[in-house]
Amino acid sequence: MLTIAMLACMPPLTAFAQDTGGAAQTQAAPDDDDDDDDDDGGEPAAAAPATAPAATGGNAGNAQMPASAMSAEALGLPPLSRSSQDVPELILGSADGDFTVNEKDFVMRVGQAYRWRISSEGNLEYKLRAPDFFRNVWFNQIVISDLEVHMAGPPAWLEYDAKGTIQIQFNTVRPGNFEWWVEGLDGSQGMKGTITVVP
């Protein structure tokens, strides 16, 4: 009885819907006709054509579209599997320049286990930060020179004092658009990028 009284006092809510084809969100308009018999004589509105988000320049629509509106199949990601999939290696610095990055944008699928090798080949100290991404995945382990670190929470950052590789193994939990950057080198040096996790 209390639930019915609470529902009667609540203001009407606006609903948002998303079609499975990745089309734009539509807002349900309030309806003056409360009978659900659809006898108003009007023709149903034509559905907008479904368009899949395109990966342009490796960006996969990170700034333009929320990750939850993208489709892993439309982006060409491999199907979900029980085994870990490899993320393309991220290499910070190189013999040609300390501020180079081989990849800037990464796309992953929610609910999948991944292995990601992140290496330093430059002559600088790098502090890789991705706090929102780290908080939205479940870490299995971090491997450094065949030594494993198991933890109950995410790392604050990954720091490279010398050349080497850190491999992180994790499961993606939530879709979203996340940023990664190298602290202090993300401005004019451009050592930054995005991580998009799609359903």
**Dihedral over Cα of 101, 192, 128, 111: its sign:** negative
Backbone region of residue 6 per phi and psi (left: phi > 0; alpha: psi in -120 to 50; beta: other values): alpha
Interatomic CA distance for residues 88 and 77, integer angstroms: 13
pTM of the entire predicted model: 0.67
pLDDT digits (tens, 9 = 90+) for 131-190: 999 999 999 999 999 999 998 889 999 999 999 999 999 999 999 999 999 999 999 999
CATH superfamily of 78-198: Cupredoxins -  blue copper proteins (2.60.40.420)
Interatomic CA distance for residues 51 and 30, integer angstroms: 27
**Dihedral over Cα of 145, 149, 154, 157: its sign:** negative
What share of the chain in percent tops pLDDT 90? 60
What pLDDT band is residue 113 in, cutting at 50, 70 and 90? very high
* Both structure tokens of 44: 């149903």
**Domain map of the chain by residue range?**
78-198
Interatomic CA distance for residues 180 and 194, integer angstroms: 6
Mean pLDDT of the chain: 78
- Tell me what pLDDT residue 63 has: 56
Interatomic CA distance for residues 170 and 168, integer angstroms: 6
Number of alpha helices (DSSP H) and beta strands (DSSP E) in the chain: 2, 12
